[in-house]
Each structure stands twice: as C-alpha cells, then as structure tokens.
Structure 1
Amino acid sequence: MDSTQQHLNAYMVTWKLEREFGGMTTVCIQRAAAFAERYGSAAVVTFPPSPQLDQIAAELVQRGKLSPKVHVLNPYAFLAEHELDPQASIPEPASEPEHQDFTGTEQVYLPGDNGTLFCEHSTAGPDEQITRMTYYRGDGTVFLTDTSFEDTKPRRIVEAFDRSGILVARFPSAAAFYRHWLTQIVDHPDSLVVVDSKFTAKLLASWTPIHVPKIFAFHSVHVAKGQDLASGHLSKGHGPIIAERSTWDGFVFLTRAQRKAYVDRFGETDSTFVIPNPLNAPAVQPPVPQRSPLNLIAAGSLTPNKNVAAALEVIAELVRRGKQPTLHIVGEGNQSEALVQKVDELELGAHVVFHGYSDQLPRHFASCTAQLFTSTNEGQALVILEAQAQGCIPVSFDINFGPSDSIIDGHNGFLVPHGDIQAMADRVQSLMDDPILAAELSENARTFASEYQSRDLVSRWEETLSLTKMLKNLGAKNRVPHFEAKLRGVDFLDGQRLHVRVEHQAQLEDLPEPAIFELVFINRRSTEEIASVAASSVDEQLAAFDLEPSLLGETQEQDAAVDMNLRLRIGKAMQLKRLGLPESKILPYFTKHKNLSFNRRG
C-alpha cells in the first residue's frame, strides 16, 4: 500500500481507556500513534459508557501518554453527537418487562460546570427488579435506553433513537449494539481494524464486516500457565477466540516462535502474521540520573504472571553473598500486599523500594544497572526493550516467548533457565563486580533497542492488511450462511448408541461447495474441543448424527461439563453455534437417578 496515494483509517480496538493502564493498552495507543504520524490521524476504539472519557483522554494527551493526533471513539460519546445508522428492519423484542412504571433513582452528569446530563438510572416493579439506563444528548434528547429484566432468563433490550425520538434500532444485548455501531464506524475499504482486547474479541466473534478484515493481535501465549504448547489447555482468554478462529481474517503474533507454536497446533499459515509491538522509548531529560551498580529494577504489573517474588529471592541470595543491592519495584497490582509480606519474611526491608505506578519509568531504568525479568510467560515483553533503550541490562528467565527475541545472551543481556534463582544471581553479581562488562552490555543493549525502534512497523501492518483483504475476498464465496442449532430429538439405540437430530434451517442449495455439519464437544472449563462427529445424513431442515458410547473416551475430565455445538463448514470457512432447544414451555431433563422429568417455563 502506498501511503502517499491512499489515506488509511486505522482503528485500534480495545475495551476501555483509563487514567492508568497496563502493557496491552500501552501497545494499543502507541500503535495508533504510529499510524497517526504516518497518516495524520488514527483512533482508539472503546465501548463501555464513561462520562469521564473525554477528560481522561485530555489528561493522557497532557501527560504524553496519548498522541493528540489519536482520537478516542466510543459508541456512547459518538451517539451523543451523531445518529446511529438505522436497522433495515427493527426486530420485535423476544420478551418485554412486566412492569413499565420506571422511576429515576440516580443521575450522572458530565464533568464540568455546564450541568450536562449523561445518563439516568431508573427502576420499575414492586421490588425494583427491572432496571433501565437512559442516555442523553447535550440538548436533552434521549439517544439510547438499556433495559434489563428477567423472565425465564436474563433479558436485555437496547434501543436507539434519533433526535426526534423515533426508534431507529433495537438489540437483544449491548454486544449486538456495539457490533452495529462498529460496522458503521469502521467497515470501509480504506480501513484497518486491529482488536487488542481478549474480552472485546469474544464480543466480536459474530461480527461480520463486509469490507474491512477482522484482525486480532495476540499479546501473550495462547495456552494456560504451565501447559504444553502442542497439547495443553488454552488460556481462559484466548480459548474462545481460537474456537471461533474461522470468524477472523487474521491473527497477528508478536514473535516468530509464538506464531510457530500456534501454526504447529492449528495450521492456518496463510492467515497468521508476525508483527512486533512498537517501542516508544523517549530520551531521559536532564539531569540524567547516575547509574549505580547496586541499583536493580523489576518493572511491570504486580500480578502472579510477572512473578516478582522470584526477583525478591534473587535479592535475598545476593545479600547472603555479602552484596548490598537495592531492588526498585515499579508497578501496581493484586500481588502488592503479598510482595510486601515476602520482603518482611526475607528481611529485605533495607534492600527493596516499592515505587508503585510511575510516569518516570525511563528515569528508573537509567538509574539501574540490571533489570530482573522473572515472568512465567509473555508475548513479547516490551518492557525489556524499554529497559535496554536506557542502557539497563536485562537478566531474564528464558521463557516463552518474548525474552529470547530481545536478548542475545551475554551480548545485550542474560538469559537463564526458567526459575533458576542461583543462575540469575550469578549473572547479576557479575555485572556488579565487573564494571567493564556492565558498560559493554549496557551499550549493546542501547544499540539493539535503537535499531528496533527504527523499524517501520506501520508498513508491516499495511502489508498484513493487503494480504488479509485478499484472503477475505477469496473466502467471500464460501461465507457460512445463517443456520440454527436446535435439538429436535434423541433416540437411544442398542449398545448405548445415540441418534441425534438437529434442526439447522440453512439454505444450502446455492452454495458453491458442499456443506459439512458436525457435532462438536467442547470442555466448558478449558474451552478446548474434545471431539467432533460429522453428520450421518443432512436434508433441508435436519442434520442427523450417530454417537458411539466411546466418543468422549478418556479425553473427558472428571466432573467437567461438556457442551454440544453445531459446526457448519463451507470450504475453509466455518461457524460454531451452541446447541439449544426449540422454544417450549415444557422442558425435559434427566435426574441423577436417570429418570425423566419436566420443568414448566413461563
């Protein structure tokens, strides 16, 4: 793509933007800034309602955390000033609340002295069990109502209105509303959309833009902690995304090793790419702090995955060897209290300083000789590059996937076996005792980070966009049509076999390739696919499946629920739907004694 010939609208999609945030959001807004520098503007897309969003964005710009060329887009802020594209046909609600006597209980105003109403919370019903959020434009007109109630199950009705009060759209969930709005904003031929948030990606699994490829960026390893890359349980956040991988046009990984681990397990080489994160490493303003050989640093969120407790053990080992190090811990997280307690247990009070969150991380790195990186797993570990940019030498556990991409052992840092406290203490002690070695590695680290920072990552994203567009266009003819997944009957056959009939209602006669229906069994706990069975017969309405008693075999975990899904494959395209029951007021179920019973709904 020639950036001088065509403007590109770049949208980085996360969940929310707050005053303080972690590495994933940092990468999201830094990538947006890189595109804004290239094209003059870019956007970060968020979703939940926040009356303080504009104020937060302004503060982040003032603090240098957000480029003034990057816009922050949000459906609630957008609809306060613009109209929502109307639905072609407004659906009737599946159910309506029994009570409509809503009474306002709380009003929320935008920050400032103008008294602009942002939203109002109201309730209805004798027990105030029905709730409604009403959102207002600056002129006082309503642009959205969000009603929650319960009949046979939790319900939600989200309705959008134009300035004259006419209903223009109705949705059964906030996620459906978000998808409709996102299509209006980004689904154009000259757009790039990158989804960074795992939570948001799950909401967008059924989002089907026409023009723009749907791309997800993996920021961390796709398997759960301690699991084997080839066969282990998928992580809680990534499992649902990978299960719905056919709905995505591209997956982007931070390192070649991370992509290889995914491709070795799931295939799909054409739609997987490697693009490292951008690095924003500003120069430290004078006066530059004096670097001390005894100053060490552990920086990042204080969470179990970052494993800062191991860094404390390294400090304790150095103290036992007669050294007098000081570990500067920069960051916040749910392990803060536990780490303070561990400092007391190890009697390290004179050797550890907790700084909490800091806007001055580059200055901290510039004052420290070595960074102790003790995470259990990572995607890229951008904080290593940030340390190297200031001449701070990383000493890291050699884990999947990030450290080995940034550290050349013995040249610009050290890699030690995962969990080896003694080896990490040895490397840190060598830097303390040998100032010539420390100066050499420090300069090499600074050079490596400088060369990395000069990479043109925007061009790599442009190339990925071109390839995913091509793949999207080639796969358009194989797009999965709408289908249902309703259980119509189960026959118990000889030998404990089952014959299952599922209603699909898919229009299959005009498809260019055969449609393949499969029953898919997914472990609810791990979200992993346990087994699948192809249909034994398919007609215009039903797909039938023959299930053998050995189907789940030894793959089923003890006491783990297994969910049944219907999958439809058209060529390389596929879509998965949870198997449900047709609408009925009488629902059968089996007791633990294998007896048939019924519940009556409604």
Structure 2
Amino acid sequence: MSEAADGVHTATVLPAGRHFAVTWSLPAEFAGRTNAMLHRSRAFAKYGGHPVDILTFDSFRDYPTIRRVLTERGFLNEGTRVLNMWEDLPAVAEAVNERGGDATVYEHFAPLSTRSSIVVERLEGPHPRLARYAEDGKTLLQMDHFRPDGTLLLSDRHDAKREGFHGGRVLTLCDSRERPVRRWTSAWGLYRAWIEYLTSTDPAWFVVDNKDTARFMASVERDNALVLYQIHESHLASPSGSFAAELTQSATEVLPRLDRLDGVIFLTEQQERDVHLRQADVGNSYVVPNSREIGGTDPGVARNPRRGMQAASLNHRKRIDHAIRAVHQANERLSEPVTLDVFGGGSQLEALNELITSLGSDSTVSLKGHVTSAQQFFSSASFSLLTSTSEALPLALLESMAAGCIPITYDIRYGPASVITHGVNGFIVEQGNVDALAKCIEELVTMPKARLAELRAAARARAMEYSDANVVQKWADTMRDAVNRKRMPSPPVEVRIVDSSCTFRAAGSLEIELEVQTKVESKPLDSYLPAFYCSMKIRSREAFFRVASSKREERADGSISLMFVFPVEMMQALKECTADLMLETRYMKTTVVTRVPLAGLSGTATAYSTTLGNLSISFQ
C-alpha cells in the first residue's frame, strides 16, 4: 500500500462502489458509538481508497453547523461528508417527477394551506415546518415540511383513516410547483426513496450503526446494495446473566431481524459466540473490531507511575464511582498518593463531585469534563481504568494501549478479555469488585520501572493489531465474503415433516426429534446438504431462541432424522409465555420455515414438574 505526501493511502482496498455509514442523527457532541462510526469512515477513506458518505435521517438538526464543527475538530476529512435526507429531498422529488407521477398520489392529499380553520404550530428546526394536532392539543395529526423558498415539500398526515383522529399515515412528496409526485403509507417508503436516489445502479455498501436505522435498512432489498449492521454495545441487559438472559431494549428490536441483513458485524468473538448460543449462526455474522490510528507515541516516555486516567461518560453504566472509590482505597494504604483524571461529561457530574468531596479525595481525583478527544491524554498517564457494566469493544481501551498506558479493567462483557492478556499487556479484575480494583492499582504503581516498561511495550504491540490499516483490510474481506453469499442462487425447496417428538429432560433441557423429507426443484436432494435449525418463537413478541441440529441421520427411504436440543438456560428464560416451534431449512439463499406438528391425544395432556421436581402428566 503506497502513501502520498498528504498521508492519504492511494491503494484501493475496499470493493468498488459507493460506501455509506448509516445512522439516525449526528449531534455536535457525541459519545463512543458515533465516535467509532466517524473514525471508521475516516479510516475507510484513508486506507480503503473510497470516500464515505454518512447518512442521517432526522429533520431537527442544523447540519451545516454540525459539519463545520466536526470538520474543525478533525472528525471529518476530505474523504468523508455528512448527507441528510431532508436536505436531499427536493432533489429526490424532482428525480421522482422526471420518472412520471402516479394517479393515486392525490389520495388523502390535503396540505395545511387548504385548511383555513385549522390552528397550526410553526416548529423550530433547520427547515420550515407546520404541525396540526388533535383536539387534545398534543396528538400530532399532520406535519408539513417546506423548502427554504417556502414551497411545500412533504405533507405527512397521521389521520388518514378518519380525519381528526390519529390512525393511518400518508406521506406525500411534492415537486417545486407543490404538485404531489409520490406517496407512501410509512416513513420507511420515504427513506427507501432516498436510498434509491443515492445508489442508482452503482454498487452500494452500507454499514449501519444505529438500531433504528438497522430496522429500516433490513427492509432494503436491492441487488446492488449490501447492508451490514455493526453492533456497538452488549446485547444483554444483565452484566452477569447467562447467554439466554433478558436482552437490552435495543437488542430486542434488532436481534430478531439479524437474518434479514447481509451481514452482522460483532466487535469481539465472545459476543458473537453468545449471540450464536441463543440464535444459532446462519452464516451472516463476522467479527471486525474497532480500530485506532496508531501514532508514534514512545511507550517508554517518562511519566508519573502514579498518574491514572479514565475516559468515559459520567453515567450509571460507566460506574465512575467505582474508580473513585478504588483510588481512594489504594491511597489509604500507599505512602505516596495515586491521582486520577476523569475525562467526560454526563448526568452523574454532581453526584460524583459530592462523592469525591465526601471521601476527601479532592486533591487526588479530578473530573476534567468533556473533551473532543481523550486520546492525547493517554500518552502522559501511567494507567487507565475501565469500570463499565458492559461494553462491546471500547475505543478508550485501544487508545490507552496504543499510547503505552497500562489498562486495568473489570472483566465485563465484552472487550477486555478479547484484547488484554492479564499480567502481560494489562490487568483484568473481577467485575464490580472495587477492593480487587484498588489492590491492582496498588500493585501496578509500586512495580519496578523495568516491569512497567515491559507492560507498556506489550500493550502497544497488542494495539498495533487493531490499527486502522489492519482493520480496514478486515472490512474489505468481510464485504467481499458477504456479497458472495448474497449472490448465491435461491432454488425452490420443498420440506415436509413426517414425524416429530418432544422430550423434556430431567436436567431441564428440551429435545425435539424430527423426521424430514426435502426436495429441491422437485428432485431428491441426493448430494445437496441443507442446514436445519429449530426456532422457538415467543408469541406476541419478536424474540426467539434457535438451535442448530445436533444429530442428523440419512435414512434408507431418503428422509432425514434430526435432533435439536434447547439447553436449560433457554428453558429457564421462558417464563409466563407461549412459544411456537418452527423448523428452518436453509439451502443456499433459500429459507423454508415449517411449523413443527405434534399429534394430539383425546383431550389434552400436559407434562409438568411436581413440587419435588418429578415428572407428572395431566390428562383432561
């Protein structure tokens, strides 16, 4: 890979086409996920050989100002730019108009300008908007969006079923003469129109970073578009639960849709494994970590061995109070004090200041507030702390190690154990154990200089594996593999379940045995090898568990005997619900879903566990 004088790498690593990063909005002040997206986009432009357009869909931010601020702070470069759907929408309307209108577009079209008796509210924002509400004054019934010149751009009604009552949505796009040119019954239709306008016939590569846009992008089905979703946080609500434990709200909305995406990107192997334990791998997941620009920091540069730092938002999930208490405890036993600088802002600022004062740690712990980039401060700190309840792969960890700043972290899901070898390039202590954290700080700051130098050099060497150049190459390999999967044929597949049985084991697991017959294009499968999965879909929810077949036997009559085992962790997670069992047969790009039958007895038979844990059956 060659590098020009301006530092831009000229080799083309990423596949040809337009490259996009997709999020919902882009504030001027942001945290880890947005930081990771912006950094990845800059790395794509510098090391991948293609510019990146960052797509945003919100209508309430001043994007000209945001672009200026991000450029001044170095978060945008010549190879990256921010696009907003509402800024492009006038051009989308003209492009749609050129392709010809639709007679049905006038249905439900009643812009606010035609409603002289309706009281409307002018909304603040980057472009003019008017809103109409129901009689309660709160329920939104219509919002009209206007171009800078005052002409109607989009009329968005929320009372299409019955005027004056919320229900039924129709969005009508208008040309520069305020004539309707296209209508949709959901916002997703409008979003897809923008995607179509951007991509045309060129290959398009989308990396999605936001759960809301991931749900929408899962519905984008274009032969020339590849959609990858990167998971930036832990999917489990509990930091200590099993792989089958309750999901976070965002994971609840996204995980059931992962199959519809061309690829799902995990930051660590550990998180990929845990997701596959709850809904078996169907071949569309990849592991690509976050990356950092590895500068020329000398890990052996002189620094105060007792100076620590932490870069994190001041919120409950980051548990900054643990770091403060650990430093306080260490200082109670050390002859010379340890100091801690915390870089970040958030809702816990006042409470943390009160904690520092109550502990008498004002001279040793300092909350520095939000900074544009904390990376520069790792070069002068001796160690860093990571005390979150959960992560995916925190950028601060890589930044610390790249600067030779020795990390001390909780053993959390996910990230630290993927990067740190305990005692070699950093330290991992029991999750949530403040005493253990304090003792580790004490041991580190009293180590001989030679030992500290070894740790710093090893930390930096490990961080080099996560350099921008290396990780962009991983992205390129992932994209090419994912597009090859997308191009696989989808032959018709017939599936018939001949027989089935259900067994509850005493240990708590559930076994499903099936006898299946399959055909492709009306011919016996013979040499074909379809993959079989059994999914347990919870009624009234999108969540499900899925396992791959654990036993597969070909029978003389051409049928296939299958065994599926739902482990005890899954069964314990199923409380107060009804679940349906489905057989998923996957062959190349074809998926056939079949309900699992079970012959009925006269009346109803229910197996249950007695108070002593024994099997009984109730017949009614």
TM interval, short-chain normalised: 0.7 to 0.9
How far the C-alpha of 1:189 sits from its partner, in A, is 4.8
SS of residue paired to 2:305: strand
Residues 442-521 of structure 1 aligned to structure 2 (within 5 Å)? 442-453=456-467, 455-474=469-488, 476=490, 521=537
Say if 2:429 is the partner of 1:420: no
Determine the C-alpha separation between the residues in 2 that align with 1:296 and 1:107.
47
Question: Cα deviation per residue 1:43-90 (whole Å; 9 max; x = unaligned)?
Answer: 111110135112101210111122232121111011245536539857
Given candidates 333, 338, 341, the residue that maps to 2:354 is 341
Q: 1:172 to 1:341 in 2, by over 3 A?
A: farther
User: 2:62 is matched with which residue?
Assistant: 52
How far the C-alpha of 1:419 sits from its partner, in A, is 2.3
Determine the C-alpha separation between the residues in 2 that align with 1:290 and 1:301.
28
Q: Is the CA contact 2:131–2:143 (under 8 Å) kept in the aligned structure 1? A: yes
Q: Quote the RMSD (CA, aligned, Å).
A: 4.0
Which amino acid counterpart does residue 206 of structure 1 have in structure 2?
Answer: S
User: 1:13 is matched with which residue?
Assistant: 22
Determine the C-alpha separation between the residues in 1 that align with 2:580 and 2:348.
38
User: 2:605 is matched with which residue?
Assistant: none
Q: 1:98 to 1:570 in 2, by over 3 A?
A: farther
How far the C-alpha of 1:162 sits from its partner, in A, is 1.8
User: 2:396 is matched with which residue?
Assistant: 383
User: 1:293 is matched with which residue?
Assistant: 305
How far the C-alpha of 1:362 sits from its partner, in A, is 2.4
Residues 143-182 of structure 1 aligned to structure 2 (within 5 Å)? 143-149=153-159, 151=162, 153-182=166-195
Q: Percent identity over the alignment?
A: 25
**Worse overlay, 241-250 or 176-185:** 176-185
Q: Is the CA contact 1:15–1:48 (under 8 Å) kept in the aligned structure 2? A: yes
Q: 1:88 to 1:218 in 2, by over 3 A?
A: farther
Determine the C-alpha separation between the residues in 1 that align with 2:197 and 2:491.
23
Determine the C-alpha separation between the residues in 2 that align with 1:178 and 1:403.
37
How far the C-alpha of 1:364 sits from its partner, in A, is 2.1
User: 1:43 is matched with which residue?
Assistant: 53
Determine the C-alpha separation between the residues in 2 that align with 1:71 and 1:176.
24
Say if 2:266 is the partner of 1:257: no
Which amino acid counterpart does residue 448 of structure 1 have in structure 2?
Answer: R
Q: 1:369 to 1:341 in 2, by over 3 A?
A: same
**Worse overlay, 209-218 or 58-67:** 209-218
SS of residue paired to 1:456: helix
How far the C-alpha of 1:212 sits from its partner, in A, is 1.2
Q: Is the CA contact 1:158–1:173 (under 8 Å) kept in the aligned structure 2? A: yes
Q: Is the CA contact 1:519–1:567 (under 8 Å) kept in the aligned structure 2? A: yes
Q: 1:181 to 1:312 in 2, by over 3 A?
A: same
Q: 1:300 to 1:5 in 2, by over 3 A?
A: closer
Q: Is the CA contact 1:162–1:168 (under 8 Å) kept in the aligned structure 2? A: yes
Determine the C-alpha separation between the residues in 2 that align with 1:296 and 1:553.
45
Say if 2:318 is the partner of 1:306: yes
SS of residue paired to 2:93: coil
Q: 1:522 to 1:176 in 2, by over 3 A?
A: farther
SS of residue paired to 1:327: strand
User: 2:413 is matched with which residue?
Assistant: 400
Q: Is the CA contact 1:530–1:555 (under 8 Å) kept in the aligned structure 2? A: no
How far the C-alpha of 1:511 sits from its partner, in A, is 9.2
Q: Is the CA contact 1:161–1:169 (under 8 Å) kept in the aligned structure 2? A: yes
Q: Mark the runs of 5 or more structure 1 residues left unpaired by the alignment.
A: 111-117, 480-509, 533-551, 577-602
User: 1:106 is matched with which residue?
Assistant: 122
Given candidates 183, 197, 203, the residue that maps to 2:196 is 183
Q: Is the CA contact 2:327–2:338 (under 8 Å) kept in the aligned structure 1? A: yes
Question: Cα deviation per residue 1:225-270 (whole Å; 9 max; x = unaligned)?
Answer: 2354432222221122221223111111112222222223322252
Say if 2:114 is the partner of 1:123: no
Given candidates 136, 141, 144, the residue that maps to 1:134 is 144
Which amino acid counterpart does residue 465 of structure 1 have in structure 2?
Answer: M
User: 2:332 is matched with which residue?
Assistant: 320
Question: Cα deviation per residue 1:520-574 (whole Å; 9 max; x = unaligned)?
Answer: 753668x533799xxxxxxxxxxxxxxxxxxx9986535x7x7999999886656
SS of residue paired to 1:474: coil
Residues 22-41 of structure 1 aligned to structure 2 (within 5 Å)? 22-37=31-46, 38-41=48-51
Q: 1:188 to 1:303 in 2, by over 3 A?
A: farther
How far the C-alpha of 1:462 sits from its partner, in A, is 2.1
Q: Is the CA contact 2:318–2:389 (under 8 Å) kept in the aligned structure 1? A: yes
Determine the C-alpha separation between the residues in 2 that align with 1:254 and 1:437.
30
Question: Cα deviation per residue 1:113-139 (whole Å; 9 max; x = unaligned)?
Answer: xxxxx2122436766565543333344
Question: Cα deviation per residue 1:372-413 (whole Å; 9 max; x = unaligned)?
Answer: 111222211221110112221101112222112221222221
User: 1:483 is matched with which residue?
Assistant: none
Residues 193-232 of structure 1 aligned to structure 2 (within 5 Å)? 193-226=206-239, 228-232=241-245
User: 1:496 is matched with which residue?
Assistant: none
Residues 549-560 of structure 1 aligned to structure 2 (within 5 Å)? 557-558=575-576
Say if 2:286 is the partner of 1:273: yes
Determine the C-alpha separation between the residues in 2 that align with 1:457 and 1:212.
22
Instruction: Output the TM-score relative to the length of structure 2.
Output: 0.72
**Worse overlay, 262-271 or 245-254:** 262-271
**Worse overlay, 56-65 or 171-180:** 171-180
Which amino acid counterpart does residue 80 of structure 2 have in structure 1?
Answer: V
Residues 239-258 of structure 1 aligned to structure 2 (within 5 Å)? 239-258=252-271
How far the C-alpha of 1:13 sits from its partner, in A, is 0.6
Question: Cα deviation per residue 1:437-490 (whole Å; 9 max; x = unaligned)?
Answer: 2233223223332343154322322222222222222255569xxxxxxxxxxx
Q: 1:475 to 1:351 in 2, by over 3 A?
A: farther
Q: 1:130 to 1:461 in 2, by over 3 A?
A: closer
How far the C-alpha of 1:96 sits from its partner, in A, is 7.8
Determine the C-alpha separation between the residues in 2 that align with 1:35 and 1:70.
9
SS of residue paired to 2:487: helix
Determine the C-alpha separation between the residues in 2 that align with 1:248 and 1:437.
47
Question: Cα deviation per residue 1:326-381 (whole Å; 9 max; x = unaligned)?
Answer: 21111122333332333244332332111111124123212211101112222112
User: 2:544 is matched with which residue?
Assistant: 529
Determine the C-alpha separation between the residues in 1 that align with 2:546 and 2:271.
25
Which amino acid counterpart does residue 19 of structure 1 have in structure 2?
Answer: A
Determine the C-alpha separation between the residues in 2 that align with 1:413 and 1:260.
24
Report the count of equivalent residues: 513
How far the C-alpha of 1:193 sits from its partner, in A, is 0.7
Q: 1:297 to 1:90 in 2, by over 3 A?
A: farther
Determine the C-alpha separation between the residues in 2 that align with 1:109 and 1:423.
50
Which amino acid counterpart does residue 128 of structure 2 have in structure 1?
Answer: C
SS of residue paired to 1:73: strand
Q: 1:5 to 1:238 in 2, by over 3 A?
A: closer
Determine the C-alpha separation between the residues in 1 that align with 2:446 and 2:266.
38
